Structure 1
């Protein structure tokens, strides 16, 4: 598997945006890109696909390009094509499937800026996606362009870049409706300003990437009018063990590099983690009702969280080596959120699935994993 190339570092940024992190890759790809670029895009659609999915020998590039998103090629291509059209892009899927990561990579490759982001919540208002005012300046000299505070979306419109809207369905209908004019008319009116200077038009290259959690359906359903302004791309849960293994290793190595920690993950323990999540998903799929399922979505992102937690615990409080018992404690600690509901569900799973499976394998790592999980569950009593 290709490893990531961290092109930019910073002592004062906890997390670098994709355009900084992969700056060298993006600069190189732009220098060899001879493809047609829509609007003001920095890369052609083919080169954007290469940046996201990684280079192959057929690309005949002089340097490796790491794969950053592990998903269906056609899914990524459809997302890129959508952004070259008049429609916005809506990435929808379960929590932890990589929707936000794909949105960030797309924005970084298209316009070199993935930070025009609005985070959707129940408290998000129309001001967050259009504009607000500097109250002190308005009191002192009235409403003007100087006292106007543009939203990240308006800033993206002015620059002809990508605006991102996270968790769209968590917002109320009034906020969602405010997007309709932006997506269809491509401008924002500012009635408080004098006529002739009260409209902000989107420059070529502007588009919207929104994400929506499929588990939030019914919270604030999108109107038919807004749905027509988006192309929907569904990001599925990764069920292929090989792909999931690559994702977990790729993201965990990045997180550990951020913490300047070097600790190998034994292949046996990674297989145990993948198998445990696969068994948990199967158990959840066979459950007769929601009360018999863990609150966790059991996503790949949660596997990464479990592994990161176990590595950090081993590094700071263990023997500097990742052990199966520590991994088990991290699984339980991460996935048990409701007490006593999730404790009961996990207890049944551990005794009905993990323990019998470990006995069949007759492997010391599985035995240690089983015992570690039992001890972790016992601490909830």
Structure 2
């Protein structure tokens, strides 16, 4: 794992998955490596009532019903579509589910304007075709076709960013559960084995880019993942990801709880202001997601470690927040400047403490970028 910049979930948590599989006595659908109950335990973590001999730490923080509905969908013949704003953990949930069910979360197609049918079906090894002609040996299966042949989970990221032709090609796969290969005379159909399913993700902010057809919608069960607004849950997510970051970089740096409170409160304030804004020019371009909070904190930690006194300060956190969220100039800078004068400054006078340094750090960052 030390040779990987980012290990997939089935590698990162291999020991835990092995242990869960060894004690799993529940019924397993098709070719699943874990029973539905153990899949849920792996994703959400264990509780005392589960009666396990070891604790399983939670890896995704969200409503339990979302995970259970996702698992039930994957045990059926329908595909699973996770939809929500950027940074709500859709892809991470898809990866965890694939790792627990199939022990392979890497059969992924990334949806873009350049994604073609070949990316979800198959292509050809040109040199082999020239030398020996078209055959199954000279065919290059897509990640989705590989998932079909092995009876495991395939993933499709950012489904609504791919064109309608690509989306339509999924309809036959999800309904007929096979892919025809008309170029071959024999052995020209790949049938999906039991256990095959597709987890797709879609960004709700991409609505209108390439809307899904009603035919494709019927092949998916939709689960909408909301933005986390509960401060306790959000704090757990940020803390979990921050601890991973510190371990990966071998950084010994403490994140004071008071600074985490400042970060959470700032994002809550900015979300409220965005919701109350009358036009897009009065809203930050950022989605203000939990993932962006983690990015702000990661930036501040790395800056403090490499260029600071190896101590995270509120001024550094403020500078990272402004630098991360000020994407448009002058619109975003004006919004942040209004927030700093109208909210952070009065709060600094009332509460002092970390808010004082946060006020000064933000002011300097805004002045530098203006």
Shorter chain as denominator, the TM-score bin is: over 0.9
Unaligned runs of 5+ residues in structure 2 are none
Structure 1 residues 14-23 or 135-144, which shifts more? 135-144
Query: Which residue matches 1:271?
Result: 261
- Structure 1 match to 2:306: 316
Q: Does 1:371 align with 2:360?
A: yes
- State the superposition RMSD in angstroms: 0.8
Structure 1 residues 329-375: Cα deviation after superposition (integer angstroms, max 9, x where no partner): 00001111111111111111111111112212122x11000000000
The 5-angstrom pairing of residues 31-50 of structure 1 reads 31-50=22-41
Match of 1:379, SS state, is: helix
Q: Offset at 1:50?
A: 0.6
The answer on 1:329 being equivalent to 2:313 is no
Residue 192 of structure 2 is matched in structure 1 by 202
Cα offset, 1:256, TM superposition: 2.1
| Structure 1 residue 143 displacement after superposition | 1.0
Q: Distance in 1 between matches of 2:326 and 2:54?
A: 44
Name the counterpart of 2:144: 153
The structural deviation recorded for 1:147 is 1.2
Please point out which of 52, 63, 68 is paired with 1:77.
68
Residue 218 in structure 1 maps to residue 208 in structure 2: yes
After TM superposition, give the deviation of residue 305 of structure 1 in Å: 0.3
State how 1:1-381 maps to structure 2 within 5 Å. 10-194=1-185, 196-363=186-353, 365-381=354-370
- Counterpart CA distance in 2 for 1:103 and 1:223 is 22
User: Secondary structure in 2 aligned to 1:377?
Assistant: helix
For each residue in 1:39-77, what CA deviation from the matched residue of structure 2 results, as whole angstroms up to 9, or x when unmatched? 010111111111110000001111110000101111110
CA separation in 1, counterparts of 2:166 and 2:110? 12
CA-CA distance at 1:111 after TM superposition: 0.7
SS at match of 2:30: coil
| 2: CA distance, partners of 1:157 / 1:124 | 19
Q: Normalising by structure 2, report the TM-score.
A: 0.99
SS of 1:237 mapped into structure 2: coil
Give the alignment's TM-score, normalised by structure 1: 0.96
Output the CA distance in 2 between the equivalents of 1:262 and 1:92: 36
Partner Cα separation in structure 2 for residue 153 and residue 185 of structure 1: 14
CA distance in 2, matches of 1:220, 1:148: 29
CA distance in 2, matches of 1:60, 1:11: 33
Q: What are structure 1's unaligned runs of at least 5 residues?
A: 1-9
User: Partners of 1:102 and 1:335 in 2: how far apart?
Assistant: 25
Aligned length: 370
- SS for the counterpart of 1:91 is strand
Query: Partner of 2:291: helix, strand, or coil?
Result: helix
* Deviation (angstroms), 1:262: 2.1
Give the structure 2 partner of residue 7 of structure 1.
none
SS at match of 1:169: helix
Q: Distance in 2 between matches of 1:15 and 1:210?
A: 21
Distance 1:108 1:11 in 2: 19
